[in-house]
Structure 1
Amino acid sequence: MSTQTRPNHIGRKISRIRELRDMKQEALAYALGTSQQTISAIENSETIDDSKLAEIAKALGVTVEAIKNFSEEAVLNIIGNTYNVDNSSAVNYGCTFNPLDKLIQAHEEQIKLYERLVQAEKEKVEYLEKIVKGK
């Protein structure tokens, strides 16, 4: 039995993110100005150069890091945790969000928090300068 980890197959991650975004290969090809066959080849590639990966990430509406760090297990855990098995009937409690959208939302909130922190520091500096000038 091998304990070797599976390679970090970027093409498969792109394929899964595209599918989660409910996007067909043709739509991604159109967004990138290329053919569906090229998208198929990309999704079968284990590695992709950074500039092409950045274009693909933009077309998918995610960051390059989101693609590189994408984990099928994490998505399956989120989906799996939204079901309750009771007397052999699965009840969907409603995974009503896209995990990638939540990640993007959290990042945007982090940026807003940082901007508020910078603004508070600017106000503090202005206040201290006023006090120093008053003496």
Structure 2
Amino acid sequence: MTTTKPNHIGRKIARIRELRGMKQETLAEELGISQQSVSTLEKSETVDAKKLERVAQVLGVTKEGIENFSEEAVFNIIGNTVTNHDNSSLFAYQPTFNPLDKLVEAYEENKKLYERLVQAEQDKVNYLEALLKKK
């Protein structure tokens, strides 16, 4: 089993990047360096302050946030802020109307609209026929 040193900055950068759902290529592009350089950076135990500041900016955290990052703290925060209530009641949808009645209503409305459309077309045909007979 390999253990990483508690203050391995490169590993912290990698974990924050992963938690952000960001690929090494994306971080590299944002930093204007190669993906291999990001890989090397993430393997580095220490990173100079200026570079760390730029990485932090791209990752949307502070330099101190990277330096003090602790995976245990992240999971503690998540565990303390996310409550897993039983949401099954959200899926017990009980409409105040009978859906079948609404379906029949919609069908009847469509039928009436169709009948009006057919009648309008018939009126148009009759009108055009009357015009032709006059000529």
Q: Runs in 1 of length 4+ with deviation above 3 angstroms?
A: 79-84
Q: Equivalents in 1 of 2:29, 2:11: separation in Å?
A: 19
TM superposition score normalised by structure 2: 0.55
TM superposition score normalised by structure 1: 0.55
1:77 deviates by 1.6
1:17 deviates by 0.7
Local SS of the residue matching 1:15? helix
- Pairing 1:120-131 to 2, within 5 Å after superposition: none
Deviates more, 1:5-14 or 1:42-51: 5-14
Q: How many residues align?
A: 83
- Pairing 1:32-43 to 2, within 5 Å after superposition: 32-43=31-42
Task: Say whether 1:51 aligns with 2:41.
Answer: no
1:83 deviates by 6.2
Q: Equivalents in 2 of 1:83, 1:12: separation in Å?
A: 29
1:7 deviates by 3.7
Q: Equivalents in 2 of 1:79, 1:61: separation in Å?
A: 19
Which digits, 9 at most, give the CA deviation of each residue in 1:5-34, with x for residues without a partner?
Answer: 944100011011111111110000000001
Structure 2 spans left out of the alignment, 5+ residues: 88-135
Q: Equivalents in 1 of 2:38, 2:15: separation in Å?
A: 13
RMSD between superposed Cα atoms in Å? 2.3
More strand by share: 1
Q: Equivalents in 1 of 2:15, 2:72: separation in Å?
A: 12
Residue in 2 that maps onto 1:60: 59
Residue in 1 that maps onto 2:16: 17
**Letter matched to residue 76 of structure 2:** N
Structure 1 spans left out of the alignment, 5+ residues: 85-90, 93-135
- Pairing 1:1-135 to 2, within 5 Å after superposition: 6-81=5-80, 82=82
